[in-house]
Amino acid sequence: MLTIEGLTKTYKTGDKALKNVSVSVPSGQVVGLIGPSGAGKSTLIRCINRLVEPTSGAVKMGDSDITRLSRSELRRARRRIGMIFQEYALVERLTVMENVLSGRLGYVPFWRSFTRRFPQESVDKAFALLERVGLGDHADKRADALSGGQRQRVGIARALEQDPELLLVDEPTASLDPKTSRQIMRLILEICRERGLPAIINIHDVVLAQDFTQRILGLRAGELVFDGAPDALDEAALTRIYGEEDWTAMRRRSGDEEPEHHSEREMVERLEGLA
């Protein structure tokens, strides 16, 4: 259970990125966070594990308030929060296996990580996860030798290696082609379902968000302007989040008269567009 109360972030430049955002995510729920660029999506996600230091407000996981933790307590809290990044953010010059094992850094002392002697169960888990994301044979390749989709799979494995209780996902599909995007989203969703893992997915693609998440949050200029089921995201809601735009055109493209089939159909359309 994640509870965010009155979260506010004002940058040094005076920009108000978040204004009094309150929301709670029950365990097992996958939430899509949408909004225009600069609405504060990225800041919100980073305030949860304090990669960005919030100005005021509280972020509670269980009973503890993450915003009040000391540095070592924060490290312990961070290892329970897995994060998947835009453009993968793998350490390019390390091997795939080292990247996955870096998910254990919060659990092992420095000498173990420095000598790359991780406990056997961590190594077993890493191998199992690589197998799970379909990269069993790539353990000793360098991360920069992989394709975009493969790199994001490594990013997912790294986050899961942490044994997280919450997944933060920042634009996971931003630099992937449409087909790979859907595969990655599906993989993230499957894994969340398998583990009953709650997730907050920051995503700019409204269609993907509607297809894959159970609940959608809409952020505009640092304020929460929509919170509801994917079906409730109608034109009025979209206009509230993004401003005036011809939504029917976008809907037509996504084929919203047939919600059951639209993902496949849209995929075909997009693939045709690619070819």
Partner 1 sequence: MPVATIDGAPVWRHRTSRQSLLIWFGWLCLVALFVFCWQVMTRDTIWAFVEDAPRQAADIGSRMFPPRWSYIERLLLPLWDTLNIATLGTVLGIIIAVPIAFLAARNTTPSTLIVRPIALFIIVASRSINSLIWALLLVSIIGPGVLAGVIAIGLRSIGFVAKLLYEAIEEIDEKQVEAVRSTGASGAQVIDYAIVPQVLPAFFGIAVFRWDINIRESTILGLVGAGGIGLQLQASLNVLAWPQVTMIFVVILATVVISEWVSAKVRHAII
Partner 2 sequence: MTTTTPRVWRRPPILIQDKRWRIAIYGGLVLYLIAAMASIEVDWVRVYTGLERGWRFVQGFLQPDFTSRWSDISQGLVESLTMTVTSTVVGVIISIPIGIGAARNLAPLPVYAVCRAIIALSRALQEIIIAILFVAMFGFGPFAGFLTLSFATIGFLAKLLAEDIEDIDARQVEAVRATGASWWQLVNYGVQPQVMPRLIGLSLYRLDINFRESAVIGIVGAGGIGATLNTAIDRYEFDSAGAILLIIIAIVMVAEYGSSTVRKWVQ
For partner 2, the binding residues (CB under 8 A) are 95, 97-98, 116, 118, 120, 123-124, 126-128, 131, 139-140
Task: Please give the distance of CA 24 from its chain centroid, rounded to a whole number.
Answer: 16
Considering the complex, what minimum distance in angstroms separates the CB of residue 95 from partner 2? 6
Beta carbons of 90 and 176 less than 8 angstroms apart: no
Cα–Cα distance list, 252 to 138, 174, 200, 207, 265 (Å): 40, 22, 27, 11, 12
The entry of partner 1, partner 2, none near residue 102 (CB within 5 to 8 angstroms by kind) is partner 1
Token reading at 274? 């690619």
The entry of partner 1, partner 2, none near residue 139 (CB within 5 to 8 angstroms by kind) is partner 2
From start to end of 26-115, where are the E strands? 30-34, 56-61, 64-65, 81-84
| Contact pattern for partner 1 over residues 45 through 84, marking x by CB under 8 A | ----x-x-----------------------xxxxxxx-x-
102 lies in the site for partner 1, by CB under 8 A: yes
* Binding to partner 1, residues 231-260 (CB under 8 A): none
d(CA 19, CA 58): 13
Contact residue for partner 1 among 98, 205, 211, 266 (CB under 8 A)? 98
d(CA 9, CA 34): 18
Which residues on neighbouring strands pair with residue 175, listed in sequence order? Answer: none
| Contact pattern for partner 1 over residues 6 through 45, marking x by CB under 8 A | ----------------------------------------
Contact residue for partner 1 among 23, 58, 105, 123 (CB under 8 A)? 105
In one-letter notation, the amino acid at residue 231 is: D
